[in-house]
Amino acid sequence: MPTTLVAIALIIVVAQLLGELAQRLHQPRVIGEIVGGILLGPSVLGAFLPGLEEHLFAPAVRGQLNLLGQLGLVLFMFLVGLELNPKLLQGRLPLASRITAVGVGMPLALGILLALVLEAWQPQLLPGDHALAPLLFMGTALAITAFPVLARILRERNLLSQPLGALAITAAAIEDVVSWVLLAIAVATSRSSTGLGALTPLVGTAAWSWFLLVGLRPLRLWLEARYRDGHQLGPLLQASLFGGALLSAAITEWLGVHLIFGAFLWGLAMPRYEPLRRRLELRLDAVVLQLLLPLFFAISGLGTQIGSLNTPALWGAAALVLAVAVGGKFIGTWAVARASGMPEREAQAMGWLMNTRGLTELVILNVGLELGVISTELFTMGVLMALVTTVMAGPLLGQLGYKPAQGAS
């Protein structure tokens, strides 16, 4: 137990320090936190001080960190669902839907094609004998956009109130929902020996989604009306709402779809009344973002082994993953934006904004690694791709004239 507490303290301090450094460099805080996880893992600490790394992160300690990290991930996904505001869709739905259709469809198709290439060229990257699951995972990993990271980038550049930012956040919101549905399908497929067998968890999850989003509507309206009338959220009610996220996560895990989908659905089912939504966020932000989520980054860092990319062929595969991820997302988004009459500068900005992957990519990669669909080497390639695509967004937007606002950090 003392070793676990020391490990947690070290993880939190490193995550906060590097998160602050990333912000000073006008990068999303999550970049520093992900790098912190990698530094504490086998790629850096394990390479230079292997004895210390093995002692700090012994199997028993990893198990405890993983449990806490999973709790942080569940509560973070609840926050992601809570942040999605249906009002974002008003007036911008047609163009945002077209951007989503191609901006997700093209990288999804290219990701599936990439998985087929890797299976033939480097078969060890996609272990297991399931034919369909690796294709869906690769497609989903390349198709996603990190909604929370994108929102932070837009806020730093005062773009949320401008047409470009409003369109980007709308498209990202739609892509977020589509991505988690794709991931749910991929997980259900990987856990079933046949494509037909995957229908049972998907049907069960669809029924649970209907219950949360439609069946609980009267309760949601009552909660919102109660808060509007001046009643505060008591400790019991707050605990019930947060406990509901864990229960919903457990139900989707039991149904055969990953637990993160249940937590995301519970967040979507919460009232959209802004003061109430903001209060729920504030209750969780500190403990999730500063304590529990860095533990998830640390677990991801322990699974990232840059030294495992020890041949030119593997580095070639990593470069191919990055090129397909960036190219598919940028070209698809840019082409639709230009075809819809958007000026070249704004269309390019949309392409780079939709390329931000950040934490969302790590979630999908961890699920794939946990289910044995991707190897440690491919997981490492995905982490590097998530870092590069997120880091490059800021400088490329700056080149197009979208500078960080004065005082933004």
* Residue range 79-290+311-399 in CATH 1.10.3720.10: no
Tell me if the pTM is above 0.95: no
Rounded Cα distance, 164 and 314, in Å: 38
**Tokens describing residue 126:** 């996609």
Q: Are 380 and 304 in contact (CB under 8 A)?
A: yes
Q: Give the contacts of 381 (CB within 8 A, at least 6 positions apart).
A: 125, 309, 314, 317, 318, 321, 322
**111: its two tokens:** 């990701």
pLDDT at residue 286, as a whole number: 80
pLDDT per residue as tens digits for the range 168-186: 888 888 888 888 888 888 8
Sign of CA dihedral 356, 342, 180, 104: negative
Write the CA distances from 115 to 39, 107, 122, 187, 367, integer angstroms: 29, 12, 10, 16, 17
| Residuewise pLDDT in 10s, the chain (409 residues) | 788 899 999 999 998 999 899 988 888 888 888 899 899 989 899 889 989 988 889 888 888 998 998 898 889 888 888 877 666 666 667 888 899 899 999 999 999 999 999 999 999 999 877 778 889 999 999 998 888 788 878 877 888 778 888 888 888 888 888 888 888 888 888 877 655 566 788 888 889 999 998 998 888 888 888 778 776 777 888 888 889 999 999 999 898 888 888 998 898 888 878 888 888 888 888 888 888 888 888 888 888 999 999 999 999 999 999 999 999 999 999 999 999 899 999 999 999 999 998 888 888 999 999 888 999 999 999 999 999 999 998 899 989 988 876 555 4
- Cα dist from 101 to 97, 108, 191, 336, whole Å: 6, 10, 27, 9
What span, in angstroms and rounded, lies between the C-alpha atoms of 53 and 175? Answer: 38
Among 355, 361, 360, which residue's Cα sits nearest to residue 381? 361
Q: Residue 409: what pLDDT?
A: 47
Every domain of the chain and the residues it spans? 79-290+311-399
State whether the Cα torsion 24-29-30-34 is positive or negative.
Answer: positive
